[in-house]
Amino acid sequence: MAIGFAVWLGDPGGYLHADPALARLLRAMALIKGAIAVAAVAAVFWRLAWPVSKPLAVSYLLACWAITGSTMLIWQLSYIVLAALLFHSAALSLLLVSWREKFRAVQSSRS
């Protein structure tokens, strides 16, 4: 759904013709961000193999949706600043959710 929405949003034709070097650079960055997104989604898929609370599962899934959608927006060369902010905030939220989950597990084992 995220990929379809991002593809629907923009046509990169203007960027491709106006500045081809910038378009190539942004597409290369999108490929790097795509590799990061694939790794993040794979890690979340691996984590969801074990029981997890509903709010944590929703947090994980929304962050995965945001990180893949923002990567596609960057690939489409649409709303690049917004897409970059969305990508980094989704990556940060994935890190924070997984860190807090681990922290809670350590606290509960001490009790």
> pLDDT tens digit string along 1-34?
555 655 565 656 666 667 888 888 989 999 999 9
Domain that holds residue 72: 14-110
Query: Which two three-digit tokens encode residue 48?
Result: 């969801």
Q: Which residue has the higher pLDDT, 28 or 103?
A: 28
Domain for residue 5, yes or no? no
Domain for residue 9, yes or no? no
Q: Is the pLDDT of residue 64 over 60?
A: yes
Q: Is the pLDDT of residue 111 over 70?
A: no
Among residues 96, 40, 84, the alpha carbon closest in space to that of 65 is found at 40
Q: Is the pLDDT of residue 83 over 80?
A: yes
Domain for residue 99, yes or no? yes
Number of domains in the chain: 1
Domain for residue 78, yes or no? yes
Domain for residue 46, yes or no? yes
- Amino acid letter for position 4: G
pTM of the model: 0.78
Among residues 3, 18, 20, 19, the alpha carbon closest in space to that of 74 is found at 3
Domain for residue 3, yes or no? no
